[in-house]
């Protein structure tokens, strides 16, 4: 079963991409990773996001990057 991970709603943070069911911007996860923080730290700081959502998002981003930049 597929889980909806991303939500875009003009009523939630003016349409910013957020984790579905939360008000946590998707960008926050990438910001944490960029600064060397772990997924565990992100999940502790944003408890409304579950591990499955974070992993699905990262896997999807990886697939998109590979598809658009094949070696």
Summarised one tens digit per residue, pLDDT across range 3-60 is 789 999 999 999 999 999 999 999 999 999 999 999 999 999 999 999 999 999 999 9
- CA distance linking residue 9 with residue 24, whole number of Å: 12
Q: Report the sign of the C-alpha dihedral through residues 31, 35, 40, 41, in that order.
A: negative
Residue 63, pLDDT > 80, answer yes
What are the φ and ψ backbone dihedral angles of 4, each rounded to 5 degrees? -75, 125
Q: Give me the pLDDT at residue 70, please.
A: 67
Whether the per-residue pLDDT at 1 is higher than 50: the answer is no
Find where tokens 């998109």 sit: 64
Task: Decide if pLDDT at 65 tops 80.
Answer: yes
Domains observed in the chain: 6-68 (1.10.10.10)
């Amino acid at each position: 079963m597929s889980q909806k991970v991303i939500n875009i709603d003009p009523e939630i943070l003016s349409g910013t991409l957020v984790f579905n069911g939360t008000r946590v911007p998707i960008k926050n996860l990438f910001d944490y990773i960029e600064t060397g923080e772990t997924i565990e730290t992100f999940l502790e700081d944003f408890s409304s996001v579950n591990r499955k959502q974070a992993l699905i998002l990262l896997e999807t981003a990886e697939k998109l990057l590979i598809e658009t930049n094949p070696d």
